[in-house]
Amino acid sequence: MSVYERIITEIHNGMVLHTPVQNKPFEVKSIDVEGVVFFVRKTNIEVSKQCWNGIPDFLRNRDWVLIGAKHEVTANLYEGTLEKYLRKCTKSKSKRSQGSYVAPLLEHLKIVKVRHTKPSAIMLT
């Protein structure tokens, strides 16, 4: 079963999750054939179906991968992070970090382990 098929099956609109380090709540606003929309402080963050399904390949055969939220890493560490992967495969215009919202959902599905201390990171389970 693909990551996105699991999301459709196991995650629901209105579900509240929490960011990895600061434990701030955010909401899964909607899930449809295009992807997932998170609602974070008056902003919608969209992550496409293709992005979700590509994450395991991105993480495969790697140790801990930095999530790369903007408030955690400097520009020279940005390459190779989950955030960089997401920026390459999504159409979201939001300047808000996406990795901080994607990682908790994947952790909820037990697809990844998340390191909840700075710098936060993920690894396939």
Tell me the pLDDT tens digit for each residue of 72-97.
Answer: 444 555 789 999 999 888 766 667 78
CA-based end-to-end distance of the chain: 15
Domain boundaries, position 72: 3-124
What's the structural domain count of the chain? Answer: 1
Q: The pTM is what?
A: 0.91
d(CA 60, CA 27): 28
d(CA 14, CA 68): 25
**Could you report the per-residue pLDDT of 59-70, keeping only the tens digit for each?**
999 999 999 876
Residue 11 CB contacts under 8 Å (≥ 6 apart), including other chains: 28, 31, 36, 105, 108, 109
Q: DSSP assignment, residue 32?
A: -
Phi and psi at residue 50, to the nearest 5°: -65, -40
Cβ count near 12 (within 10 Å): 10
Cβ count near 65 (within 10 Å): 23
